[in-house]
Structure 1
Amino acid sequence: MVDIATRVYNHHWKIDPIVRSLLDTDFYKLLMCQSVFRNKPDTNVTFSLINRTQSVPLAKLVDEGELREQLDHVRSLSLARGESTWLRGNTFYGKRQMFRPDFMEWFEALRLPPYHLERVGDQYELTFEGKWPEVMLWEIPALAVLMELRSRAVLRDLGRFELQVLYARAMTKLWEKVERLRTLPNLRLADFGTRRRHSFLWQDWCVQAMLEGLGGAFIGTSNCLIAMRRDIEAIGTNAHELPMVYAALADSDAELAEAPYKVLADWHEEHSGNLRIILPDTYGTRNFLRNAPDWLAGWTGVRIDSGDPAEGAEIAIAWWKQRGEDPTKKLVIFSDGLDVDKIEELHRQFSGRVIVSFGWGTLLTNDFRGLTPDDRLAPFSLVCKATEANGRPCVKISDNPNKATGPKAEIERYKQVFGVGTQAEMEVLV
């Protein structure tokens, strides 16, 4: 077991680059990347950093030189032989050779493209522009770098014993959550915490704690590198960027309305009927399901990632019943802003009505709330989103308007096309 406090105290060690592998990313990124590589390889896309928590002045906390050094290090990385062997030969979701030889040859030769970094006031403008399959792989490492540099900045002046006590308290805090969660019958829970983790070492510790504390109820991690090293399942399917980019490429309102379903048709073809999880909230869950083709009702389940999670699940249950499907055989994955209280509540509410699963993110891998003066280590909401595709703006509406991205005029146009009415605002914590 790594002595995290000592490693933090000696973070100048070269042994601790923040991102140490191209596999230090979420599994859904690689699955999506293969689909994009096949279907939209020449699409030019821009990804941009968005700090939803403006009260956290990243440019004041994080030194620009350190940030550039870490980003440049990421650009130097390529797949190691053992990593490539794991991707090529491992079984994922019961399927061998999930990644095709042509994609693997491309990925093995990949170095991430250049970035643009500029300080604007107390924030950083960080963008990545290029071919979609290349630039999309910047999202997770860029966020991980910024989150960990912020953690290092806050911890820099703490002494060795202060750090030991801090991490002891954080470990105790997590273990108390584990003790509560392991009382839940038939729990299914995965780590989704790579993007906004406290640090790589801490995420790895959290995964090991979950393995020991929850046993079979802990079904895996979204982090490919940790999954490989700990010999556990890599978990993930797809994310909002697919419909966001497909929608931006639409040449008419009619094409725009069909874009989210075109994404899933391509996904179905790419994975031969596997990984059939719907993410319906990009342009509003209710209307997405109402207008969905009948073949989508036969998919395995849905992931609820914004808005009121209970309401989203109820909408999905009603939709399945309307389409003649049995909800008790469908999977509902809750993944938005979860902590132990909400996991317990949703587990009680939906167990037996659907197959319940949880993707536990930031408040698993970065819950240092209340552990430092002025709460300077509290997690915050930092994202990196597709903002342009072939020169056109990318839009996300979400079931929570506070998560919407894109120009206001385009957001309003998308709302009209997708029939999105009044939405309830909810606080975005992480």
Structure 2
Amino acid sequence: MVDIAARVWNHRWKIDPIVRSLLDTDFYKLLMCQSVFRNKPDTQVRFSLINRSSHVPLAQLIDEGELREQLDHVRSLSLSRGESTWLRGNTFYGKRQMFRPDFMEWFETLRLPAYHLERVGDQYELTFEGSWPEVMLWEIPALSVLMELRSRAVLNDMGRFELQVLYARAMTKLWEKIGKLRSLDGLRIADFGTRRRHSFLWQDWAVQAMLEGLGDKFIGTSNCLIAKNRDLEAIGTNAHELPMVYAALAPDDDALAQAPYQVLADWHEEHDGNLRIILPDTYGTAGFLERAPDWLAGWTGIRIDSGDPAEGAERAIAWWRARGEDPARKLVIFSDGLDVDKICELQGQFAGRVQPSFGWGTLLTNDFRGLTPGDQLAPFSLVCKAVSANGKPTVKLSDNPNKAMGPSDEIARYRRVFDAKAQPAQEVIV
């Protein structure tokens, strides 16, 4: 096991790569990339960094030259032979050859496209433009680089013993959380913490701790590199990016209203079983379910990623029952801002009524709250989103208006088209 404090103390060489591999990304990005490669390969997109926590002055904390070094290093990466063999030959979700030969041939020669970086006040403007299959793969490494550089900036002035104590306290904090989860009967939980982790080494340690502490209750990790290295299940399905881009490409309001279902129709052709998970909240869960075609009720489950999680699960249960489906056979994945107390609460509330599962993210892989003066290592909300497709802006409404994004006039249009009801605003923790 790596001595993380010693490694942090010894960050003295020119560049210690934060992203070590193109597999240091979330599994859902690769699944979505293959779908985009098949269905929308010529779409031109623009992705942009969005710091929802504007009180964190990234441009003051992170040296621009060091940021460029890390981003340039990411652009130099390509799949190794062993990584390609793992993707081509491994079994994912019970399926061999999840990734088609034409996609793998493309991926094996890929280098990520250029980026644009500019300092704007106390923040960085970081954008990526080009073909959708290429640009979308920047999201996770870009976030990983910025999150870890922020961590390094805070840790840089700490002494060797101070670092040892900090990591010992963080390890104890996480191990106590795992101890609370150990008692939950029927728990199914995965690591979803790549995007806003403290560091790669810390995520890897957290995954090892979960594996030892929870055994079979820990079902895998979203991080492909860690899954490969630790012989774990790679976990993930799809994300808001797909309906956001499909919607932006819609030529009129009627096509816009159908865009979220077209995404899932394309997905239905490629995947079955536990990969058929509905993510309904991009433009409001209530309206999505009201207008959903009947065939979607036969899918395996649903992921709840915004709004009140218990309310979202109850809505899904009612929807399944109204369509003749047995909710007790359905998978409900909770994945929004979870921490251990909420996981325990939701498991107790829904076990037996559905098959609850949890994607534990930032507060698994980046919970250093209360461990430094001024709480300088507290996690914050940083995202990298598709903001345009073929020159048209993207929009996300969510079940939490604090997560909405897009031009105000387009948000108003989308709210009208999708008949989005008033939603209670909730704090965006991470």
Q: Give the TM-score normalised by structure 1.
A: 0.99
Letter in 2 for 1:408: S
Contact 1:50-1:383 at 8 Å conserved across structures: yes
Q: How many residues get paired?
A: 430
Matched position secondary structure for 1:49: strand
Contact 1:268-1:274 at 8 Å conserved across structures: no
Letter in 1 for 2:80: A
Contact 1:277-1:300 at 8 Å conserved across structures: yes
Deviation at residue 15 of structure 1 after TM alignment: 7.9
* Distance in 2 (alpha carbons) for counterparts of 1:78 and 1:235: 22
Query: RMSD of aligned C-alpha atoms?
Result: 0.8
Residue in structure 1 matched with residue 135 of structure 2 by the alignment: 135
Deviates further, 11-20 or 26-35: 11-20
Matched position secondary structure for 2:275: coil
Residue in structure 1 matched with residue 208 of structure 2 by the alignment: 208
* Distance in 1 (alpha carbons) for counterparts of 2:66 and 2:12: 11
Contact 2:278-2:299 at 8 Å conserved across structures: yes
Give CA deviations for 1:204-239 in whole Å, capped at 9, x if unaligned.
Answer: 000000000000000000000000000000000000
Q: How does 1:189-204 map to 2 (within 5 A)?
A: 189-204=189-204
Q: 1:9 aligned to 2:31? A: no
Contact 2:21-2:79 at 8 Å conserved across structures: yes
* Distance in 2 (alpha carbons) for counterparts of 1:390 and 1:41: 12
* Distance in 2 (alpha carbons) for counterparts of 1:274 and 1:180: 27
Q: How does 1:138-287 map to 2 (within 5 A)?
A: 138-271=138-271, 275-287=275-287
* Distance in 1 (alpha carbons) for counterparts of 2:336 and 2:421: 22
Residue in structure 2 matched with residue 323 of structure 1 by the alignment: 323
Q: Which runs of 5+ in 2 are unaligned?
A: none
* Distance in 1 (alpha carbons) for counterparts of 2:81 and 2:408: 46
Deviation at residue 421 of structure 1 after TM alignment: 1.5
Deviation at residue 272 of structure 1 after TM alignment: 5.3
Q: 1:110 aligned to 2:110? A: yes
Deviation at residue 332 of structure 1 after TM alignment: 0.2
Give CA deviations for 1:101-133 in whole Å, capped at 9, x if unaligned.
Answer: 000000000000000000000000000000000
Residue in structure 1 matched with residue 75 of structure 2 by the alignment: 75
Q: How does 1:35-46 map to 2 (within 5 A)?
A: 35-46=35-46
* Distance in 2 (alpha carbons) for counterparts of 1:274 and 1:347: 19
Matched position secondary structure for 2:128: strand
Deviation at residue 12 of structure 1 after TM alignment: 2.7
Letter in 2 for 1:309: P
Letter in 2 for 1:136: M
* Distance of aligned partners of 1:229 and 1:14 in 2 relative to their CA distance in 1, 3 Å threshold: farther
Q: 1:27 aligned to 2:27? A: yes
* Distance in 1 (alpha carbons) for counterparts of 2:257 and 2:155: 48
* Distance in 1 (alpha carbons) for counterparts of 2:48 and 2:252: 25
Letter in 2 for 1:380: F
Deviation at residue 273 of structure 1 after TM alignment: 6.1
Contact 1:245-1:394 at 8 Å conserved across structures: yes
Deviates further, 5-14 or 162-171: 5-14
Matched position secondary structure for 1:357: strand
Contact 2:15-2:69 at 8 Å conserved across structures: no
Matched position secondary structure for 1:130: strand
Matched position secondary structure for 2:114: coil
Deviation at residue 13 of structure 1 after TM alignment: 3.9
Give CA deviations for 1:10-53 in whole Å, capped at 9, x if unaligned.
Answer: 11346831000000000000000000000000000000000000
Letter in 2 for 1:406: G
Contact 2:239-2:279 at 8 Å conserved across structures: yes
* Distance in 2 (alpha carbons) for counterparts of 1:278 and 1:40: 20
* Distance in 2 (alpha carbons) for counterparts of 1:116 and 1:311: 41
* Distance in 2 (alpha carbons) for counterparts of 1:220 and 1:273: 17
Letter in 2 for 1:245: V
Residue in structure 2 matched with residue 299 of structure 1 by the alignment: 299
* Distance in 1 (alpha carbons) for counterparts of 2:377 and 2:166: 11
Q: Which runs of 5+ in 1 are unaligned?
A: none
Letter in 1 for 2:266: D
Deviation at residue 274 of structure 1 after TM alignment: 5.9
* Distance in 1 (alpha carbons) for counterparts of 2:26 and 2:242: 15
Deviation at residue 309 of structure 1 after TM alignment: 0.4
Residue in structure 2 matched with residue 409 of structure 1 by the alignment: 409
Identity %: 83
Contact 2:273-2:300 at 8 Å conserved across structures: no
Q: 1:53 aligned to 2:48? A: no
* Distance in 1 (alpha carbons) for counterparts of 2:101 and 2:272: 16
